[in-house]
Amino acid sequence: MLLVNTIRENFELVLEGLQKRNLANAEATLHEVLELDKKRKETQTERDSLQAESNAISKQIGLLMREGKKEEAEHIKTRTGEIKEQIKVLEESYNTYEADLRQLLYTLPNVPHHSVPKGKSADDNEIVLTHGEIPELPASKKPHWELIKDYDIIDFDLGVKITGAGFPVYKGRGARLQRALINFFLDEALKAGYMEVQPPILVNEDSGYGTGQLPDKEGQMYEATMDKLYLIPTAEVPITNIYRDVILDERAFPIKNVGYTPCFRREAGSWGAHVRGLNRLHQFDKVEIVQIVHPDNSYEALEEMSAYVQSLLQKLELPYRVLRLCGGDMGFTSALTYDMEVFSAAQERWLEVSSVSNFENYQANRLKLRYKGEDKKTQLAHTLNGSALALPRIVASILENNQTEDGIRMPQVLVPYLGFEWI
């Protein structure tokens, strides 16, 4: 959530950033924020002034009573009653302004970093680098949705029977490949200094608001309505919320957590070549990395996280590219996002497999996630997260890019986890 002081003191820069996101009525909304804040502060000042007058009158009444001037004391008591009614009205107004201001701030996305390119869609994203050679496949190459049937390793029809579209059943070596990737990603993260956590996969409303999924993505999450809980769209939500309403010691930075969870999203969309098979699911597995850092170091941490995710792709022998997302394609809460895309040689297209984002203090302001340094001042921390990695499209790319006439070769780094080299 944007800070009102930031909007007030850097109005033109904030407006320029929100316009880079193609946000409609950005200027009018920012002015409305400042007007609500002005009314809130004026109400608070008036309330405080009346409270001070009430306190002064109470002291005067006590003095008069001690002096035996009871009739005079009773006379000025009527003013305290008037003040109480006025304060009650002002408090109601203050609470209304406060709630309206918060709801309006919830509608404003994060301000993009100055390096974020302008643009309206994925077509305007900037290619930062490309790595690896695209494999040459046999003429008989197949997309993964055909390969999984040939080798009987993932069954979408069973998933439809049990649950519905977008909930596949992994079988045999397909299930072992899932487990191998999860363990490989977790082990690599531990080597990189991340502490593993196993969080809940259901979160409450406060957690959803804390990391920005609510109210922005409310319709995209599965909800347990009776308990007002939400199935997580990513482990970012519960892991980052570990630090909600926490004041950290500056010496604890950087805080690095990693967690594996299933993830649930209602946004799978219609059937088509771009969403077939594993390309987009309602339920999928993902290993997530999260960092809480000092504001001075968050962009250094972002580059470190990007390099780490790239190292995983290199060890899996997958060709990939890194994109810097444009203003129109960024997530609501992000200040800067790198997407990693793997080239799927059978589909002949790039598949997004990871996003690594710096949220600066946007999430921290919602979470009330702060830290104290040597000067004992309390300040907002910076939060970052990244997919390291999401499994479905990694599995699709491994199956497609490594297919041969004799079967599907597994990446060498996974063999110790799998116990086999071929499917």
| Residue list, annotated binding site for ATP | 265-267, 352-355
Name the binding residues: 234, 265-267, 288, 352-355, 385
**323 contacts 341 by C-beta, under 8 angstroms:** yes
Provide the 10 A C-beta neighbour count for residue 277.
24
Q: Facing residues of 159 across strands? A: none
Residue environment code for 154-166, b if the CB has 16+ CB neighbours within 10 A, otherwise e: bbbeebeeeeeeb
Distance CA 181, CA 278 (A): 15
Name the binding residues for L-serine: 234, 265, 288, 385
Both tokens of residue 300? Answer: 């250094």
**362 contacts 333 by C-beta, under 8 angstroms:** yes
Provide the CB-side half-sphere exposure for 246 (13 A, CA).
14
| For residue 112, cis peptide bond before it (omega within 30 degrees of 0) | no
Both tokens of residue 136? Answer: 């040459």
Length of the chain: 423
Close Cβ partners of 12 (under 8 Å, ≥ 6 residues apart): none
